[in-house]
């Protein structure tokens, strides 16, 4: 690109990119319709992925990322394709990367290192509740703003470039991340979950505290070997004033086995908070000002909400509020999310086949516009009435439920898709005349959902049970059985490492 390029008749790009990386490049620009600054991220094409497949997957993950509404995540404004390359339009962030701060100043004050890590935990908390793993957390993806706030960049870009098809989920060589911050399970089995991000946070926290990378070496092999061998020296050998409790947290974050790390980002946040004190100016980055920061004013009030009158407000970032409510907890029952989000159809009314056809057509229209969440709402709101009116094993009802599960899966809502596929598999097995492949495919999709949200042990158990049933149905040499055995072999090392 040269000169002033305008994409989609709306976004005018600056003359030169403001950042480049392995996944693509970032351009500053201006939204000429709303007259605001934006950042436009272009994804680099991949030789092993067809253009339309890359666009489809990036579109899906961009929509998942756009649901992360939090002060620590840049807002997603738009998605599109320009000259065959997918791009994402995001909020323009003014600040300095933590990597640049470390390069210029060396180790950070202990309070600031803890505060940056705690704010990052707040972002990871909302993302992990939405089943979104960063997979490339590192100092260069943390932006420190002039008011002291932290923005976590590139959420979803690594996930967008990974292959969502279950036959490739566990394929070695498809891992994403930056080697010095990659957890052992990423290196050994190309597997990532929430605890993988916590490991990367440990590497980043160490770097902020000491000014040096935890794992460094002359060659990638040397770095990998150090990662897999683990860290054995006392952390306080690199910086004597690291408190014992903070050293213990670092050691817990960097445990080789994921299950030995802290339970979640919330637990890490609580352990970091006592150290996020004495947050004075950072020269050239965070300065004192006679005018109060609107973000700090807002955060201070939010931190007081629902606190007992006798409890003084504690320092730290504002609480996490995911888009549309809390995304944590148990997976929603099939169809329940539509009711909670206000789809207005009266579920007590009888449902005709004509009604069902209209609903399915509307859902297809929404999917064609990549509005998967709304399509799932539309379908989910009529599943129970359809079952009452026509029965769970009716052909049209089965098709409706399959469409609902597929929309959830293609929209990245794997937690809700898994039980939808499981219930479908159970009912398909009860209906005479249905080819067994249909139930088997649903079981495989349910396992895929569990693998995608990091529940690899559960996914492995489900696939092994499926293999037993498919071998009994088709024999050892059938192509379905051969492919299933291959998938299990690829998934097993990761499950055993957990």
Residue 190: inside a domain, yes or no? yes
Q: Tell me, yes or no, whether 258 and 403 share the same domain.
A: no
Confidence band for 472, pLDDT divided at 50, 70 and 90 = very high
**What gap in Å lies between CA 36 and CA 42, rounded to an integer?**
19
Residue 320: inside a domain, yes or no? no
Residue 64: inside a domain, yes or no? yes
Residue 215: inside a domain, yes or no? yes
Whether pTM exceeds 0.95: no
Q: Tell me, yes or no, whether 252 and 104 share the same domain.
A: yes
Please name the residues in contact with 244: beta carbons below 8 A apart, sequence gap of 6 or more.
236
Residue 492: inside a domain, yes or no? no
**What gap in Å lies between CA 376 and CA 407, rounded to an integer?**
6
Q: Tell me, yes or no, whether 71 and 109 share the same domain.
A: no
Q: Tell me, yes or no, whether 75 and 164 share the same domain.
A: no
Number of domains observed in the structure of the chain? 3
Q: Which of 148, 147, 237, 253 is nearest to 194 (CA)?
A: 253
Mean pLDDT throughout 211-237? Answer: 79
Q: Tell me, yes or no, whether 350 and 445 share the same domain.
A: yes
Q: What is the pLDDT of residue 494?
A: 56
Of 438, 453, 468, the residue that ends a domain is 453
Q: Tell me, yes or no, whether 105 and 32 share the same domain.
A: no
**For residue 431, what is the enclosing H or E element?**
none
**What gap in Å lies between CA 106 and CA 113, rounded to an integer?**
12
Domain span at 26: 6-91
Confidence band for 282, pLDDT divided at 50, 70 and 90 = confident
Residue 330: inside a domain, yes or no? no
Q: Tell me, yes or no, whether 124 and 270 share the same domain.
A: yes
Q: Tell me, yes or no, whether 119 and 43 share the same domain.
A: no
Q: Tell me, yes or no, whether 62 and 192 share the same domain.
A: no
Residue 177, helix vs strand vs coil: coil
List residues with catalytic annotation: 136
Extract the tokens encoding 442. Answer: 């649903």
pLDDT at 467 over 50: yes
Q: Tell me, yes or no, whether 136 and 68 share the same domain.
A: no
Report percent pLDDT > 90 for the chain: 32
Confidence band for 493, pLDDT divided at 50, 70 and 90 = low
CATH number of the domain to which 77 belongs:
3.30.200.20
**Range name among 31-35, 135-139, 407-411 with the lowest pLDDT average:** 407-411
Residue 329: inside a domain, yes or no? no
């Amino acid at each position: 690109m040269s000169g002033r390029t305008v994409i989609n008749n709306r976004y005018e790009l600056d003359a030169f990119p403001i950042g480049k990386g392995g996944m693509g490049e970032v351009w500053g620009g201006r939204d000429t319709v709303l007259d605001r600054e934006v950042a436009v991220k272009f994804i680099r094409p991949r030789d092993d992925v067809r253009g339309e497949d890359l666009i489809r997957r990036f579109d899906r993950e961009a929509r998942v990322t756009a649901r992360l509404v939090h002060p620590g995540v840049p807002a997603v404004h738009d998605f599109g394709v320009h000259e065959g390359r997918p791009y994402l339009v995001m909020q323009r962030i003014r600040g300095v990367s933590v990597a640049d701060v470390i390069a210029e100043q060396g180790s950070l004050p202990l309070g600031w290192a803890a505060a940056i890590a705690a704010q990052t935990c707040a972002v990871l908390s909302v993302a992990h509740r939405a089943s979104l793993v960063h997979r490339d957390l590192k100092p260069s993806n943390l932006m420190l703003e002039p008011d002291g706030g932290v923005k976590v960049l590139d959420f979803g870009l690594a996930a967008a470039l990974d292959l969502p098809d279950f036959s490739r989920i566990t394929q070695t060589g498809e891992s994403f991340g930056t080697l010095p911050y990659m957890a052992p399970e990423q290196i050994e089995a190309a597997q990532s979950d929430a605890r993988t991000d916590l490991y990367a946070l440990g590497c980043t926290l160490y770097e902020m505290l000491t000014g040096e990378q935890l794992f460094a070496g002359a060659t990638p092999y040397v770095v990998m070997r150090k990662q897999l061998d683990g860290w054995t020296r006392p952390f306080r050998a690199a910086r004597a004033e690291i408190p014992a409790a903070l050293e213990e947290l670092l050691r817990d974050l960097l445990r080789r086995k994921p299950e030995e790390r802290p339970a979640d980002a919330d637990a890490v946040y609580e352990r970091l908070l006592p150290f996020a004190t004495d947050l004075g100016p950072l020269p050239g980055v965070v300065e004192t000002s006679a005018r109060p920061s609107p973000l700090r004013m807002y955060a201070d009030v939010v931190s007081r909400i629902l606190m007992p009158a006798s409890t003084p407000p504690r320092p730290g970032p504002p609480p996490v509020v995911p888009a549309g409510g809390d995304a944590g907890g148990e997976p929603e029952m099939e169809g329940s999310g539509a009711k909670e989000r206000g789809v207005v159809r009266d579920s007590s009314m009888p449902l005709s086949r004509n009604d069902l056809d209209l609903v399915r057509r509307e859902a297809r229209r929404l999917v064609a516009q990549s509005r998967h969440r709304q399509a799932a709402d539309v379908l989910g709101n009529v599943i129970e009435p359809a079952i009452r009116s026509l029965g769970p094993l009716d052909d049209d009802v089965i098709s409706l439920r399959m469409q609902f599960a597929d929309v959830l899966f293609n929209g990245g809502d794997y937690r809700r898709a898994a039980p939808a596929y499981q219930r479908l598999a159970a009912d398909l097995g009860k209906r005479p005349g249905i080819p067994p492949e249909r139930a088997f495919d649903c079981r495989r999709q349910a396992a895929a959902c569990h693998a995608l949200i990091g529940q690899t042990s559960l996914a492995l158990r489900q696939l092994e049970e499926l293999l037993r049933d498919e071998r009994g149905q088709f024999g050892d040499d059938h192509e379905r059985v051969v492919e299933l055995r291959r998938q299990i072999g690829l998934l097993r090392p990761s499950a055993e490492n957990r």
